[in-house]
Structure 1
Amino acid sequence: MAVRAKKQSPWFVLLIIVAAVVMWALDQRKSGPEEGPRPQRNEKVSANPPPSSKPLPSGKTAGRPGTGHREGRYELHRNCKLAADNSNDGDSFRVLLPDGRREIFRLYFVDTPESAFKSYRNGENNHQRIREQAEHFGITSEEAVEVGKDGKQFVLGLLGKRPFTLHTEWDSPFRDQRYHAFIEVEDGGRPRWLHEVLLEKGFARLKTKPADLPDGTKAASHRRHLEALQSAARKSRTGGWRTTRSAAAR
């Protein structure tokens, strides 16, 4: 008498099919090519991120830091020139480096008032920042923007006169292709740091990232010097302090 085959449970059959599909998928993942770029990890920001690699007008591409002469922690670039750019302002501007690269640099230590009220595509604007700048000088937001315009005109005029020297370590904390820098200019027939001149003339407030100077002066010591310049500008009603509503020390 023949033995009747035992009928398999539908769940058992389904389990076999699912296991087969999973094994096939794992095998394809190991042997097949990946589709699309891998998601970027949240890596630690490098102290020396590379400059922009976008094509330049000259047909060159921006290379990694190292084309300038290095003195201590900073890379030194002589004979730099101001490059035209709609984003140029009193404390941030595009610079033409001697090797042909065009990069945007941001001054250490200082913040100049915004030169216009702006609204951005994401719905944000710079109005709160302008209010903070106005509060620092003790003036209205509209007056702060006028100071910003004066500061921008002064800086772009100064940098546009003659070549200048720039010190940078390619520090871009927000990875937005804007790099901190110290800039040497000629003012009154002698070399000066641009951020010092801005504070002295009342076109900036002491704010943003500090750093040790290229000549070795420590940031804390230099900040005390800048505080004295800012205080003197306030007392003499220079630049943004000329219409201040209060001469009291802040």
Structure 2
Amino acid sequence: MAIRARQSTLSSLLVVVAAVCLWGWDQWQKAHPSVDTAGHRKSSAEESAPPSPGKGSERAGRYEVYRGCTLAKEKHNDGDSFEVSLPGGRTDIFRLYFVDTPESEFRTYRGGEDNYTRIKQQAEYFGGITSEQAVEIGRRAKEFTLPLLAKRPFTIYTVWDSPFNDQRYHAFIEVEDGGKSRWLDELLVERGFCRVFTKGAEMPDGTPMARRKDQLRAMEREAKGRRAGAWGLR
């Protein structure tokens, strides 16, 4: 009887231990959503990627390609971030690799936070223009980008990369400008409407990230020489 009692107690103890372990693993996964069940860290693209390619997409290397995209009307659309309607009806918010246009207005958010510090940093990038001038450049960037995207369909290249898990995905955007296919990020650089500042990536044509950044820096130097956009306000 004593042996059976000890076996029963041991079995109960093992059940309790197993339950505690399962609970602990569940809690750890909730606290570490970027790690899969094998213990491997997921990339930011894997965390934010849709379960399957969207309708109407193609492949170009690592990128999903969506042709015939159109601009969706959204009040927060800006010079470098906007809502896009993809073929098949899906709608998502995309922001450009490599470039950051200044904020187009001063904002105060819930909780008392605002974008004043960010605007000041953007102004400093352009040689110390005022915050008000930086916002004006942000408005000009918005007034350039949104009509261009609304004019005719454009092409999105994305890996569904959302580093901040905020449902905004990085992308390269190919548009038609002056009868030629151009990258939207370089058009903004050429006009002095942005800083070469944010996250970069390898280009869809295979150009390495570092080389592409050098190309954009060269365009930026040329824009400075012409005193284009913000560079003409110093």
Q: Same fold (TM over 0.5)?
A: yes
Q: Aligned-pair distance for 1:41?
A: 2.9
TM-score, with structure 2 as normaliser: 0.81
Which residue of 95, 98, 116 maps to 1:109?
98
Q: Determine the structure 2 residue equivalent to 1:72.
A: 61
Q: Determine the structure 1 residue equivalent to 2:181.
A: 191
Query: What runs of 5+ residues in structure 2 fail to find an aligned partner?
Result: 1-11, 36-40
Establish whether residue 91 from structure 1 lines up as the match of residue 73 from structure 2: no
Q: Determine the structure 2 residue equivalent to 1:223.
A: 213
Letter in 2 for 1:111: D
Write the distance in 1 (CA, Å) between the matches of 2:109 and 2:165.
Answer: 19
Write the distance in 1 (CA, Å) between the matches of 2:198 and 2:87.
Answer: 27
Letter in 2 for 1:65: P
Q: How many residues align?
A: 210
Secondary structure class of the residue paired with 1:229: helix
Establish whether residue 159 from structure 1 lines up as the match of residue 149 from structure 2: yes
Q: Determine the structure 1 residue equivalent to 2:118.
A: 129
Per-residue CA distance 1:111-147 (angstroms, 9 max, x = gap) = 0000001111122111011001111113100010000
Q: Determine the structure 1 residue equivalent to 2:200.
A: 210
Structure number, greater radius of gyration: 1
Per-residue CA distance 1:158-193 (angstroms, 9 max, x = gap) = 000000000000001111101000000111210010
User: Is the contact between residue 48 and residue 65 of structure 1 (CA under 8 Å) also seen in structure 2?
Assistant: no
Q: Determine the structure 2 residue equivalent to 1:178.
A: 168
User: Is the contact between residue 54 and residue 90 of structure 2 (CA under 8 Å) also seen in structure 1?
Assistant: no
Q: Bigger relative contact order, structure 1 or 2, given CA contacts below 8 A and separation 6+? A: 2
Establish whether residue 48 from structure 1 lines up as the match of residue 42 from structure 2: no
TM-score, with structure 1 as normaliser: 0.76
Secondary structure class of the residue paired with 2:93: strand
Residues 122 and 49 from structure 1, CA distance in 2 versus in 1: closer, same or farther, beyond 3 angstroms? farther
Secondary structure class of the residue paired with 2:139: helix
Write the distance in 2 (CA, Å) between the matches of 1:124 and 1:182.
Answer: 30
* Larger relative helix fraction: 2
User: Is the contact between residue 48 and residue 162 of structure 2 (CA under 8 Å) also seen in structure 1?
Assistant: no
User: Is the contact between residue 118 and residue 126 of structure 1 (CA under 8 Å) also seen in structure 2?
Assistant: yes
Secondary structure class of the residue paired with 1:226: helix
Q: Determine the structure 2 residue equivalent to 1:7.
A: none
